[in-house]
Structure 1
């Protein structure tokens, strides 16, 4: 059956925006992701010292901003333990929002994405409110609703600092008419921590439990485990290797039962993260170029679409959009 192309069931989630083409978590990246076919702006949320929610992949911001070039912040460099791992650098929660706004975003992996590095210094660190405003503006301009897909990033860690992420996120959703069963824009709420998702229940929006490949996730990947997840979430966001693993040669293997088991439990499946460069593709889909050159990304999307996923996190929204068009035309 042909799907609704205005708001298709098979979602393209612009991972940190169009982060394959612009520095991640910037308004430029989010806007481009929407323009080239993305359905959602995926946002990792961390807190500032004064409790504002901003978009960064991690609390440590040294790898994605020019903070090291600001001598006035040299004494903020420190080592902190985040979820059991030591990280040295500069942390968003040691800065006020006004201080963070003096910084500019930089490309996180310039060796793979040198073209992105040409945009270093152009974009500020955006707030959640600025991203919501952009989603609303792009929805009006493009004539289709562009949703937001916020993640509470290391929520227990932030809670230990007295900077709970859930209350300001809930307040922003309510203030912007994005709560309840019929929000102005589509919204999914995501976290690796189930307790954080439970704290977000009151806004009655679909919640997504993110899952990695580490051993401690294994009990939740069974039918019984997924049934338990369905008590507080409406979807899972697994590492894509949990859906279609790679074999001993690094090539794309056979699909597991995860999608079918999740659907049986009433859960949608949105795997992460699809990237078009050779460095990230299965060995059998890489081109003859360098690590940053594109390979056979369409075949990878096609395999996951055939496996029955309900959406994909992607750094290359246009590639996912085109692969979805090919797939839907073949249905």
Structure 2
């Protein structure tokens, strides 16, 4: 029944269940944000993943930022790194294993803030989802954890080689925990690093966070574009009385617009189970916010709505192009994608149809 409703809706919207290149037109300013780089093809948050995403046509690359013991910004999805590096197999670091309460949850493992940069650089990245992305495991052990400065250097080298601008979309991870429990102010670190690297508000940069306070402080201290991330459940760790559901209402969006420029929204906040728009995009358009970016489009069946899954199990490639169609039809301004190459092919096909090619 759900699949029938889903198919009927797409027919009403003029969206065909068809290959990537056959959909309707899309605006040229629709952004493709490489989520952790081309993380569907390379271990996430590595220079290799970022470079592949850029080569495939991503407009922005998205590094999640955490901080080392000696105050260096590096890129990992979480400050706990046993799932994305070989640290658990390194006997010399066995005594670094800790348990910490992060955003209300007890987490055991190895944490970036307990390693100096020199120590962290002895580790090697590995695929975080080895059962779903088996081919990515071929690259296990090849890459180091990159610093933020190295990522900026890569972007500038690729801009020169390709002759186009490449945006930067960093996310501050657990800033309240790092400030309250570790005494590390990542807002200050980020702005200091931006200045040292010559990054200015004129550059294509968005700074994102699930928390509220860090964005408010960034708004007071800089003119960089800021993005409030909102989830389909829970609320910001630094505002225990607040929920993301409340933040996604017209009143909540008005409050966000007082300090941020856009929102990054979990797809279930944008699309109902049958694929129809929820109304969030319309509410954003009616607010003072400038954009809404959807997260996260992934190609594997396990990450897709049931009607878009194909035969072959959880790791098989499903119909992510139709999900992109639905998001574009809902009116989002861009998407975070683990597979920016696929998203770029989809966008190119839609533009070709729009332009009558």
Deviation, structure 1 residue 123: 0.4
TM-score normalized by the length of structure 2: 0.87
* Cα-to-partner distance string for 1:137-187 (whole Å, 9 max, x where unaligned): 11111111111101110100010211111112111212222223x22xx10
The correspondence of residues 72-151 of structure 1 with structure 2, limited to 5 A, is 72-151=92-171
**Aligned: 1:162 with 2:183:** yes
Deviation, structure 1 residue 330: 3.4
CA distance in 2, matches of 1:43, 1:199: 20
Instruction: State the aligned residue count.
Output: 319
Match of 2:312 in 1: 289
Q: Mark the runs of 5 or more structure 2 residues left unpaired by the alignment.
A: 1-24, 235-242
Deviation, structure 1 residue 285: 1.0
Match of 1:280 in 2: 303
The correspondence of residues 240-259 of structure 1 with structure 2, limited to 5 A, is 240-246=267-273, 252-259=274-281
- For 2:210, which of 188, 192, 206 is the aligned residue? 192
Asked which structure has the greater RCO (Cα within 8 Å, sep 6+), the reply is 2
CA distance in 1, matches of 2:349, 2:327: 13
CA distance in 2, matches of 1:219, 1:286: 31
- Cα pair 1:302 1:327 within 8 Å, conserved: no
Deviation, structure 1 residue 327: 2.4
CA distance in 2, matches of 1:199, 1:123: 34
Deviation, structure 1 residue 3: 7.8
Q: Mark the runs of 5 or more structure 1 residues left unpaired by the alignment.
A: 247-251
**Aligned: 1:209 with 2:209:** no
Q: Provide the alpha-carbon RMSD of the alignment.
A: 1.3
Deviation, structure 1 residue 66: 0.2
Match of 1:249 in 2: none
- For 2:347, which of 321, 324, 327 is the aligned residue? 324
CA distance in 2, matches of 1:22, 1:43: 14
Match of 2:8 in 1: none
- Cα pair 1:179 1:203 within 8 Å, conserved: no
- Cα pair 1:40 1:149 within 8 Å, conserved: yes
Consecutive aligned runs of 4 or more in structure 1 exceeding 3 Å deviation: none
- Cα pair 1:305 1:327 within 8 Å, conserved: no
**Aligned: 1:49 with 2:76:** no
* Cα-to-partner distance string for 1:83-111 (whole Å, 9 max, x where unaligned): 00011100000000110000000100100
Deviation, structure 1 residue 69: 1.4
